[in-house]
Chains A and B, each alone.
Chain A
């Protein structure tokens, strides 16, 4: 099936500098044929949302290990809504306590990939959950 490549933005919100996981995911998604934009470290919610809109991405992947997700994720989700970009699928990973997951999902985060997740599972999830053949 010929089609546009899936575009994914991998973001590091907040002060957290642990980028091993984010970089591995970037490579895995690229190897799976997706177009990947990596924001680099210490991005604000505004920067992440603006970049996602500018780059016209299908998916945003948020990587955070610092515990600041409870403050940063709601900001990101509300900004996306404000800017009419809440059709972008948002997934997250890193160190996110299980008790916070229901709240994150209620905000609209589609899936959370906890430590030990395989890159293949993430690739598969994205491929299966992106609405196909949408005119852009």
Chain B
């Protein structure tokens, strides 16, 4: 079959005839069960794509070969032929002991990387004995108040042999310091440890909402981690620039893509303003996307992301190292797409979403558990989620060749359209003087709220069908769920009391004061945080010292 030559007028004529006389004519007499041919983001999809949709498409310029600029087909020349994506299940609940057990279980079942979910107090930088922590201890993730908890969390897990991602934002520097300290106690140098801290504050203001300090101070803290990491912890990804949460909050796929990449641009600009050299920190920027319901839209999104980022890094920022051009990303299947009604259906949803992530070339993947809408994953549900990845990897054949859907007329057209639409949004935010400014103006937040409301209405009007919810509903069948009881709180509070009693409190006071001074003097606070952490200062105490210097952020009320 000949490709990429000027299309014989036969094809254009044949296609028009087919569309009007065959396709449209047959439809006139039918009553289709599906009435809406838009993606979950509302993007219209045609009935057929042909070479006519890729008129003038230059394969090497638009796509490149895998591992070659602009990396549309993959950032490595080998992709899964060399190494599968990391199977990295997000996990954490109760006490550090509880979670340590679950980590060991998941690793024994074939998981290949760790990912830590902290409970809400830790995410907000407060200790378990804070009044606001009441009722929250160990419920949404693992309780970590100090280095003592971190030591238990990774007990028996060799940090030179495993990589760990930690979902933590305002207190990211502190948890990272704890991890570094645990590794050192294991005799593992910071030069060797590898992993990721999410550490992406912009998307907190936009979507996930675990923010503490105001934007400018938060950005300063993040650049501190870039600077420290580049020198002292070179194998660590000091940020996971995220679209997952933006999407979960209700954005469309293009908004997820655009806001994430524009956040990335913002971080690069702030780091350059500090005086960091681009090729020193850019290779350690990483990304995190959602794998939502619309199969092809998601694959197109991932491919467009790689292409846009490569262009941004090479052309906009003038990065010289190819490693600076690579968009490396983790993916999580969409939590918000899973339903409480008929929860076993979620296994199929997760499978399709995970498949999209793999066909999109993700470096690392988390698959949600079927009990997502009820509770944290039970062991059984977490195992099924892991097996989903393993079946895709070993039984489906999709990892046999790189970017297997590349060349599909539909996919290439969709990728190109998403690229153009995302760039349009990026230009818009550039015109607003950047992402921090856009957030202050409430722009991304409003876009997301509008999309979320549109989608809810579409589901209620049955314009979007959700199986088991607004179609094919049946009587509810309860499933067993993980329960976190209040004994976790008692245990954790006892542990915290013990730490505060047995440490050298005079030393801790001094270290916290040194940190406060360093923050006020605008020094890089990482070494001071590390010092506090090693003295068993608690997370809350460290964050309070920083709050005294940076203040706290209040979100403007809008819906």
Q: Which residues of A contact B (CB under 8 A)?
A: 14-20, 22-24, 26-28, 36, 38-42, 44, 66-72, 95, 97-98, 114-116, 118-120
Contact = CB atoms under 8 A, between A and B. Distances in A.
Given A67-B140, A97-B375, A114-B340, A24 B453 contact: yes
A14 B375 contact: no
Nearest to B375: A97
A19 B209 contact: yes
A18 B555 CA distance: 14
Contact of B136 (A22, A66, A98): A66
Nearest to B481: A97
A20 B481 contact: no
Interface residues of B, number: 36
A10 B336 CA distance: 21
A12 to B, nearest CB: 9
Interface string B136-147: 100110000000
A54 B558 CA distance: 20
Contacts of A44: 132
Nearest to B136: A68
Nearest to A15: B120
B170 to A, nearest CB: 12
Given A15-B121, A20-B336, A23-B449, A42 B132 contact: yes
A17 to B, nearest CB: 3
Contacts of A95: 373-375
Given A38-B557, A67-B135, 18 more contacts: A14-B132, A15-B124, A15-B136, A20-B249, A22-B559, A24-B453, A27-B453, A39-B557, A40-B557, A42-B132, A66-B140, A67-B136, A68-B120, A68-B134, A97-B374, A115-B373, A116-B469, A119-B456
Instruction: Please list the 4 inter-chain residue pairs (A to B) with the smallest Cβ-Cβ separation, ordered nearest first.
Output: A71-B135, A17-B209, A68-B135, A67-B139
Interface in B61-116: none
B142 to A, nearest CB: 14
A114 B339 CA distance: 11
A70 B136 CA distance: 10
B559 A26 contact: yes
A23 B373 CA distance: 19
22 contacts: A15-B120, A15-B124, A16-B120, A17-B208, A20-B452, A23-B453, A24-B452, A26-B559, A27-B449, A28-B453, A40-B555, A66-B120, A67-B135, A67-B136, A68-B120, A68-B135, A70-B135, A71-B135, A72-B135, A97-B374, A97-B481, A119-B460
A23 B452 contact: yes
B545 interface: no
A42 B465 CA distance: 33
Contacts of B135: 14, 67-72
Nearest to A121: B460
A17 B210 contact: yes
Nearest to B449: A23
B453 to A, nearest CB: 5
A19 B452 CA distance: 11
A68 B121 CA distance: 12
Contacts of A36: 559
Majority secondary structure, A binding face: loop
A15 B118 CA distance: 13
Nearest to B338: A115
Contact of B559 (A38, A119, A120): A38
B185 to A, nearest CB: 30
Contact of A115 (B250, B340, B452): B340
Interface string B259-297: 000000000000000000000000000000000000000
A26 B559 CA distance: 7
Contacts of A116: 339-341, 469
Contacts of A22: 559
A20 B139 contact: no
B253 to A, nearest CB: 16
B484 interface: yes
B452 A68 contact: no
B460 A66 contact: no
B132 A15 contact: yes
Contacts of A18: 209
Interface in B310-340: 336, 339-340
Contacts of A38: 557, 559
Nearest to B211: A17
Nearest to B450: A27
A26 B449 CA distance: 11
A71 B121 CA distance: 15
A36 B557 CA distance: 12
Interface string B518-559: 000000000000000000000000000000000000010101
Contacts of A71: 134-135
B397 interface: no
Nearest to A26: B559
Contacts of B123: 15
B248 interface: yes
B478 interface: yes
A123 B339 CA distance: 22
Contact of A98 (B478, B555, B559): B478
Interface string B474-512: 000010010010000000000000000000000000000
B132 A20 contact: no
A11 to B, nearest CB: 12
Nearest to B131: A44
A20 B374 contact: no
A134 to B, nearest CB: 27
B127 to A, nearest CB: 13
A134 B124 CA distance: 42
A112 B353 CA distance: 31
A2 to B, nearest CB: 27
Interface in B182-237: 208-210
A20 B248 CA distance: 8
Nearest to A98: B478
Interface in B449-478: 449, 452-453, 456, 460, 469, 478
Nearest to A71: B135
A15 to B, nearest CB: 4
A96 to B, nearest CB: 10
Interface in B333-390: 336, 339-341, 373-375
Contact of B209 (A27, A41, A115): A41
A48 B375 CA distance: 26
